[in-house]
Amino acid sequence: MAKYNIKEKKEKKAAYRTYMNPDVKDDLYEKIRNKIVLEAKYKDKTYSARQLASDLATNVRYISAVCADRFHMNYCELVNSYRINEAMSILADRRYAKLRMEDVSEMVGFSNRQSFYSAFFKLQGKTPRQYKKEFLKVEPAAEKKQGRRGRPSKQTV
């Protein structure tokens, strides 16, 4: 018998998550994706779940429920994942090699460099600077194998 009378805390799902119609969830899922991805609202630093709910004529709890059920993350994680994917594209593009990390973080919608680094590390397991160094280090090796006109060079066998 246990020394202390401690009960395990059971995880309860919120009622609005279990009673929400699946068709409503699917519809809201598509609307959220369209609003955040197609309209690039993830780049807006001030765009909140409350504003998204207002734009979609629903409430924040439903937004939260759909994010948890369909995207398997909360609203902030969802927005940050799109921001980090965009940042990875920018960091991998040689045209933007001269940009500072503060500029990249601002371009993708983060309000400061610390939150950018934190979110990037949480999703990728490395800092944006490490990612950029590793990616740009691999790229030149691939280019060296090609000839002067972008064709693969002839190798002697």
pLDDT digits (tens, 9 = 90+) for 98-119: 999 999 999 999 999 999 999 9
DSSP 7: P
The torsion defined by the Cα of 67, 85, 133 and 114, in degrees rounded to 10, comes to -50
Euclidean distance between CA atoms 147 and 154, whole angstroms? 8
Between 19 and 76, the more confident residue is 76
pLDDT value of residue 141: 47
Average pLDDT of the residues of the chain? 85
Query: What are the DSSP E strand ranges found in the chain?
Result: none
C-beta separation of 65 from 108 below 8 A: no
Tell me phi and psi for residue 146, to 5 degrees.
Answer: -90, 155
CB 91 within 8 A of CB 135: yes
Please, which pLDDT band fits residue 143 given cuts at 50, 70 and 90?
A: very low
